[in-house]
């Protein structure tokens, strides 16, 4: 009953979406989220390194980042208005990231713990304050190299 | 209306043959899959960065490193926030170009594409300035002049990851600008009008939004956290 020729089927149902109003709404949401992120970034400057407050702020920033990603993919890239079939083929494979992130970050953390436990030289080198003279030497090296090239 | 019929009869309608089960054009579907694979490339880079950071005892403080802007040196986050807004705005103009394409308005497509290209070039200019500035400070692949936040000698991989990941993203922005310029030329020549649809603009738009999406992650991971 329907004609199944190339684009005509696709084109008509593809135009669903909120139109310009939706674009303006999403733009405002993205801008506000970015502003909140930047404000939190400024707020974090004075915080104690590795303190609870800093970790909490970082967590909030990551949640805001994911919200921004949702709005860009869902509305700007129009994925929210596509068919469920298509959404699933895109979103489900991205679930691999959950494993990917957890596994690798745990691995990094475990590597740090092992090195700090069994390699005292490494621990001392990476936690000791850099001597002023060595820092100057390093800077000179870096300044010379581009000049010679 | 279409959504209600789709949910009511989705399974027989889309999987019984005769039409695309995804209801999108082939090229657009493939663009989605390409972007998904690209997301895994960027994801791998960023996760490698995260792993290295979790394995390190010290890491340079981004607010100390990225605090310069053209004409000043003590404003953390300001310059990069401007870059972020440039990219968001160019993404918005791209959406408007896609919408104008749906409505077959050639003029709207041309104007919004030009704005998008300007936004992309502005972003690239900002990034070029930032790279030049950091290079002048002695930072490059293999050189890290910045001390860790705990005062120890800076972690070598800080600059390696920074230049690799922002460089890879910058390359995507560059190719996005090139694609948009090609789309602009094709629109001006009336190719899409003859074809009867502006689906190519949509595919270029998907790519451009993806570039914006990646920047959201790069911005957060490098400059904020």
Q: Which of A83, A116, A121 to mutate to test the interface with B (most CBs of B within 10 A)?
A: A83
Nearest to B152 among A44, A77, A127 (CB): A127
Helices B26-55 and A96-118: angle between axes, nearest 10 degrees: 20
Hey, what are B210's tokens?
Answer: 């993806």
- Residues near A37 by beta carbon (within 8 Å), at least 6 away in sequence: A61, A64, A65, B220, B224
- Same domain for A78 and A53, yes or no, is yes
Last residue of a domain, one of A94, A116, A133: A94
How far apart (Å, rounded) are the C-alpha atoms in residues B123 and B219? 13
Contact flag A69-B19 (C-beta cutoff 8 Å):
no
Hey, what are A147's tokens?
Answer: 């000049």
pLDDT band for position A125 (cuts 50, 70, 90) = confident
- Same domain for A83 and A29, yes or no, is yes
Q: For residue range A33-77, what is the model confidence (pLDDT) as tens digits?
A: 999 999 999 888 878 877 888 999 999 999 999 999 999 999 999
Q: pTM score, two decimals?
A: 0.86
CATH of domain B27-224: 1.20.120.80
Residues 126-145, chain B, touching A (beta carbon < 8 A): 135, 138, 143, 145
What is the percent of chain B with per-residue pLDDT over 70, rounded to a whole number?
94
pLDDT of residue A142: 47
Name the residue range of residue A139's domain.
96-149
- Same domain for A73 and A123, yes or no, is no
Last residue of a domain, one of A50, A65, A94: A94
Q: For residue range B130-141, what is the model confidence (pLDDT) as tens digits?
A: 999 999 999 999
Q: Which of A11, A38, A59 to mutate to test the interface with B (most CBs of B within 10 A)?
A: A38
Q: Specify the number of domains making up chain A.
A: 2
Chain A and chain B share a number of CB contacts under 8 A equal to 185
Distances (CA, A) of B202 to A24, A25, A80, B94, B118: 19, 20, 15, 9, 19
Residues of chain A found within 8 Å of residue B196, distances taken between Cβ atoms: 7
Chain A CB within 8 Å of residue B70 CB: no
């Amino acid at each position: 009953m329907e004609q199944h020729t190339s684009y005509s089927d696709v084109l008509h149902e593809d135009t669903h979406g909120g139109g310009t109003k939706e674009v303006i709404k999403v733009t405002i949401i993205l801008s506000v989220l970015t502003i909140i992120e930047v404000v939190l970034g400024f707020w974090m400057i004075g915080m104690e390194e590795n303190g609870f407050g800093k970790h909490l702020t970082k967590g909030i920033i990551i949640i805001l980042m994911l919200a921004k990603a949702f709005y860009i993919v869902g509305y700007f890239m129009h994925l929210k208005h596509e068919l469920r079939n298509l959404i699933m083929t895109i979103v489900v494979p991205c679930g691999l990231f959950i494993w990917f992130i957890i596994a690798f970050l745990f691995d990094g953390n475990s590597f740090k713990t092992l090195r700090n436990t069994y390699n005292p030289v490494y621990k001392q080198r990476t936690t000791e304050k850099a001597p002023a003279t060595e820092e100057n030497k390093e800077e000179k090296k870096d300044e010379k190299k581009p000049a010679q090239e | 209306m279409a959504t209600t019929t789709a949910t009511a009869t989705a399974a027989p309608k889309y999987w019984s043959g005769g039409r695309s089960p995804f209801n999108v054009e082939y090229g657009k579907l493939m663009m989605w899959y390409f972007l998904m694979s690209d997301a895994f490339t960027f994801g791998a880079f960023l996760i490698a960065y995260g792993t290295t950071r979790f394995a390190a005892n010290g890491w340079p403080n981004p607010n100390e490193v990225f605090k310069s802007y053209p004409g000043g040196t003590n404003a953390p986050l300001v310059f990069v926030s401007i870059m972020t807004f440039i990219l968001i705005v160019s993404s918005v103009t791209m959406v408007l170009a896609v919408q104008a394409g749906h409505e077959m308005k050639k003029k709207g497509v041309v104007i919004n594409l030009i704005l998008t290209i300007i936004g992309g070039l502005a972003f690239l200019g900002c990034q070029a300035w930032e790279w030049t500035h950091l290079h002048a400070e002695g930072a490059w692949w293999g050189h890290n002049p910045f001390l860790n936040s705990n005062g120890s000698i800076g972690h070598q991989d800080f600059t390696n990851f920074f230049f690799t990941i922002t460089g890879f993203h910058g390359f995507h922005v560059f190719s996005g600008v090139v694609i948009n310029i090609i789309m602009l030329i094709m629109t001006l020549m009336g190719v899409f009008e003859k074809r009867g649809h502006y689906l190519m603009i949509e595919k270029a738009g998907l790519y451009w939004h993806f570039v914006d999406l990646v920047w959201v992650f790069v911005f957060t991971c490098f400059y904020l956290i």
